[in-house]
Amino acid sequence: MSRVMIAATGSGSGKTTIVCGLCQCIKDMGLMPLALKCGPDYIDSMFHSRVLNMKTGNLDSWFCDENTIKELLFRKESESDITIIEGVMGYYDGQGFSTKGSSYEIADITDTPVILVVNCRGMSNSIGAVLKGYKEYIENNHIQGVIFNNLSSKLYKDASMAAHMAGIKPLGYLPVNKAIALESRHLGLVTSDEIEHFKEKVDTIAALMKESIDIKGIIELGHTATKCKTGCELNASDSKACKKTEKSNKEDIIHIAVARDEAFCFLYEDNLEFLREYGCELVYFSPLRDKKLPDDIDGLLLYGGYPELHAKELSDNVSMRNDIADKIRGGLPCIAECGGYLYLHKKLEAPDKKVYPMAGVIDGTGYNAGRLQRFGYMTLTAGRNTMLADKGKSFSAHEFHYWNSDCKGDTYSVTKASDGSVEIEGYGSDTLYAGFPHIYFPGNKEAARRFIKTCRCYRHKVSGIDKDIEKLAAIFPELTTIKALDNNAMKQAEKHWDGIAKPLHGLGMFEDMIVQIAGIQGNADVSIDKKAVVVMCADNGIVEEGVTQTGQEVTAVVSCNMADGISSVCRMADCVNAKVIPVNIGIAQDLPGSLIKTEDYKGLVNRRVMPGTKNFLKEPAMTKQQLIKAVKAGIEQVKCCKDDGYNILATGEMGIGNTTTSAALACILLDMNPGEVTGRGAGLSDEGLLKKTEVIRKAKEMYGIYKNDPLELLRCIGGLDVAGLTGVYIGGAVYRLPVVVDGVISAVAALIAVRLCPAVKDYILVSHQGKEPAIKALLAELDKKAVIHAELALGEGTGAVMLFPLLDMAMQVYKENTTFDDIQITAYEDYGKC
């Protein structure tokens, strides 16, 4: 066992050049070297890998505690004859003005002898002062030798004398030689595969070092290193046992796809090794060349790299972009860091300022900020429960990026270690981490294990989902007919928007909605001239618990008013020539004072399943057959609308007590606290609000086990209006009609529909973010944004109807405005989303 560290007085001193040359020299002696890098830099590790033709790794005392550092070192150096550890920055340079995370700290933890590289360019006698300063700065400094870089052979004798005077052994020098420079390029970063004539340069460096550097003396110095303690050997044995245990069940092996090509090449090899230790099998693929993700995968890693340099090729690979987006939206666990994060954006700017479509998971544009944005160690604290950390919990990371995003997310508080500055950024959900910070698994074991656990849950879920889909398809055969949006129509619509004589993206989200509708209709010649509002009307048995101000007779009164065209939503719909279609899916009572039953009331579509649901605190709200009938009623209503020529639908509901059922559903589906989702509904008192909150708490206690079974949860809690609206959203996807979400009740139904069939999501538009507390979280879970923020709380579909005139105005611009070609003016260049 032999080990040395090559450190330096500062960055740019030639550490990587010397480490690469030294490794080649050692290989030429018939020995097997191993090179490790201090700190978070994976670029230098790739240099090492190219020379050694073997895996390398990092030692980072900011990410990892002492035991983890020793364990990593023990595992790696057991496979080599000599370990060369490359330092980071200046030897004593750590976080801020400290030695935390420095090369010195790694040397001290591992008791490794250090060879200091001194860049002698522009120095002579000052070399002695530098050596004396480094040697005396800290008493137990581990500095045993020195290599002089960029030093004339004529000065080596004097420099050696200065080293001896400082108590440091001189081990040779490298003269000034431009031919051996390992040049940098894009962003100051460079991968080993991108250096011209790399092997020839390393051979040249090694040849020079054999003449002027004491290679044998370096190896002998390495023999003075202290071997890792036996506790590390025990840890390594335990890990191997863990690995063996994890892999013993072949059916339970987790398969994780790793993007790896010219565009995605920055990663920690230690992360991959960590995954292997925990029984994961890695499947590599190329977003540049492969047409789709590998089959049978349970997780996805999109690491950093140069996607901006390959933006056109990545964009042209439409099938891969779409497959990644569909899989992530379908719940495939994914970590997307830096370049991978940019790839998930809707658009990405290349260095030539051209903007290209990307995967579109994140509704934003990655752009060249022109300067380094954030650099250094970070601590990420989750603002809500996520795949990698629960709310309030933290993990560590590292950032280095010049490109930025105009849609940075808001899941994490990211605190920079060096100055304590905080930015809110990043995307986190139950299955996604996406952001600029890079995560090092050995230093964030809990976060890494949570990712693996999520992948395993996904595997079990998907293996069960295949059976569930068969069952769902047997119940709702319409699901098998749902297809993806028409990408060609969407591209044509985007192109048309960009050609209209106005600022690019000037109508913001409305442009996106028209493009989405083009994809739904399969035609860039979008038409939304025939509109309808489907209002599901039903009663809820939970009103027995005193959670409302009024009785169930109000449901009948308002529903019949809709049929007569005199309710609030009717007045508003008249303004945009939209038809209100009230559907009796479960009204409990008849209209007071009328001899006409609600089932027979003119203008009130009769699809009644039952006279209101049961009280879910006493028994499930409905039977399985009643649930299926209610969902099918929604699907059938959309078919009728399609047959009648309607080309866009809004959703609405009417039913006393339905904010209680919807809040209970949201509480369980989103795993939130009852107090976070419970509102006053139509105007509850403080006492009433407390009672309602307690009802929802009991609902979660009783039915929380069905969080991942939305149909059973809906059966148990209700209501019939939510079930009917779930069918409306499914019907929208089946019959290719855009469906507009109204408020919280409508949004709960949308979430259930999407949980049942993720493809439904692309057929959904969102109108407003109302007053009910759960609506913001529901829209976030749907990954949808509202365009109206007016504290609406009326219900009936009134908020959804308010979107219609706004879309009409956007359509007027889309259809009627002149284009740049019409007025013979050069169109705007799309340098990024405005």
Active site residues per annotation: 796
CA-nearest of 527, 524, 489, 496 to 738 is 527
Measured on CA atoms in the order 711, 713, 717, 719, is the torsion positive or negative?
negative
Return the structure tokens found at 41: 């830099």
CA 91 – CA 134 distance, rounded (Å) = 9
**CA-to-CA distance for 548 and 660, rounded, in angstroms?**
9
Question: What whole-number distance in Å separates Cα of residue 361 and Cα of residue 346?
Answer: 7
Tell which residue, 480, 103, 413, 448, has the closest CA to residue 270: 448
Identify which of 333, 361, 335 has the alpha carbon closest to the alpha carbon of residue 462: 333
Q: Before 719, cis peptide (omega within 30)?
A: yes
Are the beta carbons of 727 and 639 closer than 8 angstroms? Answer: no
Nearest to 74 by CA among 31, 111, 42: 111
Query: For residue 534, what are the β-bridge partners?
Result: 581, 651
3-state SS string over 370-424?
Answer: CCCCEEEEEEEEECCCCCCCCCCCEEEEEEEECEEECCCCCCEEEEECCCCCEEE
Burial of residue 226 (number of CB atoms within 10 Å: 0-12, 13-18, 19+): exposed
Between CA 574 and CA 335 the distance in angstroms is 48
Write out 262-302 in H/E/C secondary structure. CCEEECCHHHHHHHHHCCEEEEEECCCCCCCCCCCCCEEEE
CA distances to 81, 91, 136 from 780, in Å: 53, 46, 57
Question: Could you tell me if 473 and 409 are in contact, meaning their C-beta atoms sit under 8 angstroms apart?
Answer: no
Coil, helix or strand for 538? strand
Mind spelling out the 3-state secondary structure of 580-613? EEEEEEECCCCCCCCCCCHHHCCCCEECCCCCCC
What distance in Å separates the CA atoms of residue 664 and residue 704, rounded to the nearest whole number?
10
Place of tokens 């891969």: 320
Q: Take residue 773 and report the two structure tokens written for it.
A: 């507390």
CB contact set of 287 (below 8 Å; sequence gap of 6+): 259, 261, 263, 264, 302, 314, 317, 320, 324, 343
Q: How many residues belong to the chain?
A: 834
Helix (H) / strand (E) element for 569: namely helix 568-574
Strands 432-435, 427-428: parallel, antiparallel or unpaired by DSSP? Answer: antiparallel
The CA R_g of the chain, rounded to the nearest whole Å, is: 32
Measured CA to CA in angstroms, residue 414 lies from 42, 60, 180, 378 at distances of 21, 19, 40, 6
**Nearest to 221, CA basis, from 369, 87, 116:** 116
> What is the distance of C-alpha 570 from the center of its chain?
41
Largest CA distance in the chain: 114
User: What are the strands, taking DSSP E only, across 43-142?
Assistant: 57-59, 82-86, 114-119
What's phi and psi for 8, nearest 5 deg? -155, 170
For residues 485 and 507, give the distance between their C-alpha atoms in angstroms, rounded to a whole number: 22
Starting at the earlier edge strand, list the strands of the sheet with 355-357. 355-357, 345-349, 362-368, 403-405
